[in-house]
Structure 1
Amino acid sequence: MNDLSNELQLKIERLENEISFKNGLISILSHDSKEMFGNFLWLIEAVEEKTISEEDFFKLLPQLKCDAQKNLQTIQDSTSWLKTQYGEFKIKPEKIMVMDLFHHFKEKYALQLKEKNIKFHFKGDPNAFVTTDRLLLQYVLDKILNNAVKYSFPGNDIHLQEVTDDHQVIISVIDFGTGMNEKYLPEIFTYGTPLFLGTAGEKGVGLSLKIVKNFVSLMHGNIQIVSAENKGTTVSLVVRKFIE
């Protein structure tokens, strides 16, 4: 009876988390879309009614572009998540070389790394590998690395570190940027976490880490975050080394 009760409780908690996630997703999409289109409509009307000068109009365009990019990222993240929720989604495990992941992201983030003069290093066994779903893993690491770049100070280093034992691989993204107060860590994957600007004024989306947690769960992995203000953040992804 106790086993049945515990199983039922776990199912209830899982359903509550899914409902909370979906409600939060709808809230973010609704709020961000209203804000962006509201600002866009206000600007058009101001130009039409000549209550704003051309000079001021062009000064506001970079902010509109930034808001549009943030909304586009939200939609892309939502689309990635939706693909795992409908139909009979199943992960497709394959052997992935960790060094290949490092080279992939070093090339993808080359421009951002150059703009902030950040050096991206690999630490670990160059022959290490992990067996999991490539799309899910790349999404998760992409969002973690994106945050590392966003919150790193110019001239800092970022490390992609690999540690392997008999059954699992720990892939960590280590930065030495702004970090965060420990009091925010328990809420990092919830909708109550405040959004922080990057060191170059980059805006956060507020959704990516929620989807990251969902994807890590699909991979049967675990994610751990250690952070300290003005000292940096280490995000570690723990995944199985072999297919079982």
Structure 2
Amino acid sequence: MNDTINDLHSKIENLKNEISFKNGLISILSHDSRSMFGNFLWLTAALEQETITKEDFFKMLPQVKSDAQKNLQTVQDSTAWLKTQYGDFKIKPEKIAVIGLFQHLEEKYAGGLKEKNLSFRFQGDTSAFIETDRILIEFVLDKILNNAVKYSMPGQDIYLNVITEEAQVILSVTDSGTGMDEKFLANIYTYDNPVFQGTAGETGVGLSLKIVKNFISLMQGSIEIISSADKGTTVSLFLPKMNE
């Protein structure tokens, strides 16, 4: 009887979290879209009515571009999540070499790493394998590394550390960047946390980590974030070990 009640409470809590996530997602999309298009319409109208000069117009274009890029990223992340919620999407586990995931990320982020003079290094078990959905794990690691690059200072190192245990594989992305205070860390998965600016002026709405947590749950894993202001952040993924 108690097990049935506990199971029911668990399902209710999961449903509440799912509804909260969806409501937050809709709120972000609507707010960002209104803000971006509103600013763009105001700017073009001001130019047409000659209430601003062409010089001022062009000075404001970089901000419009930044807002558009942020909005596009939100839409892309939201689309990735929606694909897991509707239609015939199913987890497709496959044997994946972790070193291969590292090499994929290293190649994808070569330009961004070079631009900031950052090094991306592998530590730990080079022979580790995981059995999970490639699309989901690549999305998750991409978003985590993206944040590590965004909040790292030029010349710093970022590590992908891999530990193989009896029942799980732990993948950790560690940076020595700006990090965050404990009060912000406590709200990292809610819609109350502030938007942080990267060390090169990059911005985001904090949506990616919320989707990352959802995807990790789909992969039957868990996530842990340890961070300190001005000392950096470690994001660890705990994934079931591949069946032999």
Query: 1:10 aligns to what?
Result: 10
Whether the 8 Å CA contact 1:182–1:227 is kept in 2: the answer is yes
Whether the 8 Å CA contact 1:73–1:205 is kept in 2: the answer is no
Question: Displacement of 1:186 after TM fit?
Answer: 1.9
Give the letter aligned to residue 186 of structure 2: P
Query: 2:23 aligns to what?
Result: 23
Question: Displacement of 1:89 after TM fit?
Answer: 2.7
> Secondary structure of the equivalent of 2:186?
helix
Structure-2 separation of matches of 1:123 and 1:223: 19
Structure-2 separation of matches of 1:66 and 1:88: 35
Whether the 8 Å CA contact 1:94–1:132 is kept in 2: the answer is yes
Question: Displacement of 1:205 after TM fit?
Answer: 2.5
Post-superposition Cα deviations, 1:181-214, rounded to whole Å, max 9, x if no partner, equal: 0122221111111111001110013211110110
Query: 1:150 aligns to what?
Result: 150
Query: 1:138 aligns to what?
Result: 138
Aligned positions of 1:98-113 closer than 5 A: 98-113=98-113
Query: 1:165 aligns to what?
Result: 165
Query: 1:94 aligns to what?
Result: 94
Structure-2 separation of matches of 1:73 and 1:201: 16
Query: 1:69 aligns to what?
Result: 69
Question: Displacement of 1:111 after TM fit?
Answer: 1.1
Structure-2 separation of matches of 1:186 and 1:40: 35
Whether the 8 Å CA contact 1:93–1:243 is kept in 2: the answer is no
Structure-2 separation of matches of 1:2 and 1:57: 65
Whether the 8 Å CA contact 1:119–1:157 is kept in 2: the answer is yes
Structure-2 separation of matches of 1:93 and 1:243: 11
Whether the 8 Å CA contact 1:179–1:230 is kept in 2: the answer is yes
> Secondary structure of the equivalent of 2:13?
helix
> Secondary structure of the equivalent of 2:94?
strand
> Secondary structure of the equivalent of 1:187?
coil
Question: Displacement of 1:126 after TM fit?
Answer: 1.7
Structure-1 separation of matches of 2:176 and 2:32: 30
> Secondary structure of the equivalent of 2:195?
coil
TM-score (norm 1): 0.98
Structure-2 separation of matches of 1:227 and 1:24: 24
Structure-2 separation of matches of 1:5 and 1:121: 47
Whether the 8 Å CA contact 2:118–2:156 is kept in 1: the answer is yes
Give the letter aligned to residue 70 of structure 1: K
Give the letter aligned to residue 45 of structure 1: A
Give the letter aligned to residue 134 of structure 1: R
Cα pair distance change 1:243/1:205, threshold 3 Å: farther
Report the number of matched residues.
244
> Secondary structure of the equivalent of 2:223?
strand
**50-59 or 170-179: which moved more?**
50-59
Query: 2:206 aligns to what?
Result: 206
Question: Displacement of 1:243 after TM fit?
Answer: 4.3
Q: Give 5+ residue unaligned stretches, structure 2.
A: none
Structure-2 separation of matches of 1:174 and 1:203: 20
Structure-1 separation of matches of 2:51 and 2:110: 42
Q: Give 5+ residue unaligned stretches, structure 1.
A: none
Structure-2 separation of matches of 1:111 and 1:52: 37
Structure-1 separation of matches of 2:86 and 2:214: 14
Percent identical:
68
CA RMSD, aligned part only?
1.1
| Displaced runs of 4 or more, over 4 A | none
